Amino acid sequence: MATEIGLTKQQILETVSGYRQRASAKPDALEKMFERDKDDLRELGVPIETIGDSADPNDLREARYRIPKAEYDLPADISFTPAEVSILALAGSVWSEGSLSKDATTGLRKIRALGIEVDEPIIGFAPRMTVREPSFAPLRDAIEACRVVTFDYLKPGEEKPRRRTVRPLALIDYEGRWHVYAHDVQADGDRMFLLSRIVGDVVATRERFDPALRDGAGERALQGLQDVAARNRALLEITPGTEAALRLARRGEPAAQGMRVPYVDLHIFADELASYGPEVRVVEPEVLRAAVVERLRAARDVHESQGSDA
């Protein structure tokens, strides 16, 4: 960062502590250490620029390396108060390191580099957000690398999963469930996929897509989910003072008979409502009512069969 023109690999090996002490090591060992350190820095969100020969940019024998200050530091016109830094640091700590995206990691690193004294924690502990779906990490990596992926997807009512080939554009958390917003190659259209319905591994292909496709994808995906929820509104009678009342009241609006609660996916919402047992009764729509009744009867039958076996 102290030089505008960068340093050659030889200059770095001769002057940077850690390499200098290993000057007597085999060249291959130093080379591997140098490449590993570059990868580690990039994983931490530190941008490294490689400057090749102006006459032949592909000739990296005398390449120079530098960390562009403009990309490393926050823009000069952005500033934060100590309280704002506390909020940002807390938001970043919510994520487990395994789930935190590279962009968020870079942002946190820049915030920590500000040197602003942070206010006392707002709460005594920080919540942790982890992702149970194994497909989250490969999808996140594919989005960042702009790679087309394939996966098997099992929709409710289908006996076998179908192979999907998509350009993943954004990961969205909505109502406590993760979705991937993607362009379905076979269908030639944008689709929303629930991560919990992805069966097996997400496989990244060698095919790449234009990064510009990701622009605004998160906003479009969220708006699409909100539009679906606005069209699907269930009328529920909920027992006051119960867990169902606590959870559903935050999402619904009082109605003449109970409460109107929006939902995105009928099958998932039916699972949730059935889990509340007698605390909720579905008034409408009839298709949702039937789905909840079906789940309750299935649970009853399982308990009865277990009781007879005993």
Look at residue 1 and tell me if it is in a domain.
Answer: no
Same domain, yes or no, for 166 and 186? Answer: yes
Which residue intervals of the chain are DSSP H helices? Answer: 9-15, 27-43, 69-72, 82-94, 102-112, 136-145, 217-231, 243-249, 266-275, 286-309
Q: What is the CATH number of the domain that holds 191?
A: 2.30.30
Look at residue 15 and tell me if it is in a domain.
Answer: yes
**Whole-angstrom distance, CA of residue 29 vs CA of residue 25:** 7
pLDDT tens-place string over residues 19-34: 767 766 777 888 888 8
Same domain, yes or no, for 83 and 67? Answer: no
What DSSP assignment string belongs to 135-198? THHHHHHHHHHTEEEEEEE--TT-SS-EEEEEEEEEEEEETTEEEEEEEETTTTEEEEEEGGGE
Same domain, yes or no, for 179 and 189? Answer: yes
Q: Which residues contact 217 (CB under 8 A, 6 or more apart)?
A: 169, 170, 181
The overall pTM is greater than 0.75: no
Query: φ and ψ at 200, to 5 degrees?
Result: 80, -160
**Whole-angstrom distance, CA of residue 61 vs CA of residue 42:** 21
The last residue of one of the domains, among 221, 255, 271, is 221
Same domain, yes or no, for 144 and 202? Answer: yes
H/E element, 261? strand 258-262
pLDDT tens-place string over residues 70-110: 666 666 777 778 778 777 777 766 665 555 556 666 666 66
How confident is the model at residue 210, as a pLDDT? Answer: 92
The last residue of one of the domains, among 182, 201, 221, is 221
Distances (CA, A) of 130 to 26, 95, 100: 42, 6, 9
Same domain, yes or no, for 151 and 187? Answer: yes
Look at residue 2 and tell me if it is in a domain.
Answer: no
- 113-116: long-range contacts, CB 8 A cutoff, minimum separation 24: 113/73, 114/74, 114/80, 114/85, 116/80, 116/81, 116/82, 116/85
Same domain, yes or no, for 161 and 86? Answer: no
Look at residue 227 and tell me if it is in a domain.
Answer: no
**Whole-angstrom distance, CA of residue 178 vs CA of residue 193:** 9
pLDDT tens-place string over residues 159-188: 899 999 999 999 998 887 899 999 999 999
Same domain, yes or no, for 104 and 147? Answer: no
Q: Tens digit of pLDDT per residue, the chain (310 long)?
A: 777 788 888 888 887 777 767 766 777 888 888 888 888 787 766 778 888 766 665 666 678 888 877 666 666 777 778 778 777 777 766 665 555 556 666 666 666 666 655 554 444 445 555 567 889 989 988 998 899 999 999 998 888 999 999 999 999 988 878 999 999 999 999 999 999 999 989 999 999 999 999 999 999 999 999 999 999 999 999 999 899 998 898 889 999 889 999 999 999 999 999 999 999 999 999 999 999 999 999 999 888 887 666 5
- Number of compact structural domains in the chain: 4
- The closest of 184, 179, 202 to 131, measured between CA atoms, is 179
Q: Which range marks the domain in which residue 85 is found?
A: 73-130
Same domain, yes or no, for 193 and 152? Answer: yes
The last residue of one of the domains, among 189, 221, 253, is 221
Look at residue 217 and tell me if it is in a domain.
Answer: yes
